[in-house]
Amino acid sequence: MRDITNHRSSTAKTENLSVQLAEEINSFFARFETPQQQHSSASALLPSSSSPGSYSAPLTVTEHDVRRVLLAVNPRKAAGPDGVPGKVLRACIHQLTLIFTRLFNLSLDQAAIPSCLKSATIIPVPKKSPISSINDYRPVALTPVIMKCFERLLLQHIKDHLPPEFDPHQFAYRANRSTKDAIPTALHPVLSHLEQRQSYVRMLFVDYSSAFNTIIPDILINKLVTLGLPPLTCAWIKDFLTNRPQTVRLGPHLSSTRTLSTGSPQGCVLSPLLYSLYTHDCSPTHNNTLIIKFADDTTVVGLISKGDEAEYREEVLKLAAWKYKLNSDLLLTFYRSSIESLLTYCITVWYGSCTKADRVRLQSVVKTAQKIIGCPLPSMMDIYSSRCLSRAANIIKDSSHPGFNMFRLLPSGKRY
């Protein structure tokens, strides 16, 4: 059976365990955090008491809700940094329910979470064997079991505020969705399209590296506000993601503590949903393109007819722009320095002799860039005309220029 399935027992072992290695791994997992990074305060999202229309009642949980999530705790669940195992919470459920109900409601009312509940112990899990670099470890976070219970209460609250048709092409972390649904959803339009004449398909497979670790809280919160989540809930999530203490445990060794305000820990109950919310606006803009997502695995499908790949290539460029969160000014600067400068180099020499087909192809590049940047760009013909006039104006002002006599006087006495 092992030969048929090519199954091998996991032999990945972490060798040369040391405090120094734990520190290096912790630094690597925290590499997306920069000292200059500034995050707005979660309190800025709280509704002002001076404006009566802006206030919304905070979410509250009942003792019944808390008792329900405590009863669902796996008694064999590993303890988090607080050292409280799941079996203790189960055994003391009657004594703790009221206490945690008050604590949770106070946290929701103030949109603040105690630092001890946000702390995480990162366990580096080898992705493969043998380990050749620190990048071969996957960071799995052990967080307090009681915090996982709290997150489960918030999970349903957030889902209740999302529309039923929310991000239909995300097939991970959702009921009645799996890879078995994602594959036929992608293949059905592909096979149907290939039945047509002069048609083919292009597919781009994207796997984002350290996707959960690169979530920027400010960007996520802006998207949550756009989706209509209550301000207090958004503020609570902002506090949940920022100022999180983190240590790495490698065998018996513990690293020093780092405080992070970027990313969402893998192992938290809310992390999968928050990532889905973070990527929900990554969607196609054309009828002949599809974007299929399974967690951080993304597939761009282009249904191409008669060799016209403009829409597919535009979709790929828009995906890249979405990924890097580039604003229009930065995209415009890049276009002018790297694309327009190349397209228009010596344009006064060669553009006039271009065929109509060549001009259409060149202009399609400008149109695609214009859609991605989101602002109007000068056409190739406009650039050609303006540069010809500018060059001619410079030549006729210089009587010593060899081309001076190429410009004859008009009846008005002007050369242009």
Q: Note the pLDDT of residue 15.
A: 47
What proportion of the chain, given as a percentage, has pLDDT over 90? Answer: 50
Contact between residue 232 and residue 49 where contact means Cβ atoms under 8 Å apart: no
- Angstrom CA distances, 382 to 24, 344, 349, 366, 377, stand at 55, 11, 15, 12, 10
Q: Note the pLDDT of residue 211.
A: 83
pTM for the predicted model, two decimal places? 0.70
Q: Note the pLDDT of residue 325.
A: 62
Encode the chain in three state secondary structure: CHHHHCCCCCCCCCCCCCHHHHHHHHHHHCCCCCCCCCCCCHHHHCCCCCCHHHCCCCCCCCHHHHHHHHHCCCCCCCCCCCCCCHHHHHHCHHHHHHHHHHHHHHHHHHCCCCHHHHCEEEEEEECCCCCCCHHHEEEEEECCHHHHHHHHHHHHHHHHCCCCCCCCCECCCCCCCCHHHHHHHHHHHHHHHHCCCCEEEEEEEEECCCCHHHCCHHHHHHHHHHHCCCHHHHHHHHHHHCCEEEEEEECCEECCCEEECCCCCECECCHHHHHHHHCCCCCCCCCCEEEEEECCEEEEEEEEECCECHHHHHHHHHHHHHHHCCCHHHHHHHHHHHHHHHHCCCHHHHHHHCCHHHHHHHHHHHHHHHHHHCCCCCCHHHHHHHHHHHHHHHHHCCCCCCCHHHCCCCCCCCCC
Q: Note the pLDDT of residue 413.
A: 62
Look-up of token digits 């109007």: 376
Q: Which residues of the chain have pLDDT under 50?
A: 11-15, 36, 48-54
Q: Note the pLDDT of residue 77.
A: 80
Q: In angstroms, rounded to a whole number, what is the distance separating the alpha carbons of residues 247 and 61?
A: 31
Q: Note the pLDDT of residue 17.
A: 66
Look-up of token digits 């996520």: 220
Q: Note the pLDDT of residue 176.
A: 86
* Mean pLDDT, rounded, of the chain: 85
Q: Note the pLDDT of residue 327.
A: 59
Q: Note the pLDDT of residue 51.
A: 44
If one counts every other C-beta atom within 10 angstroms of the C-beta of residue 151, the result is: 18
Q: Note the pLDDT of residue 52.
A: 44
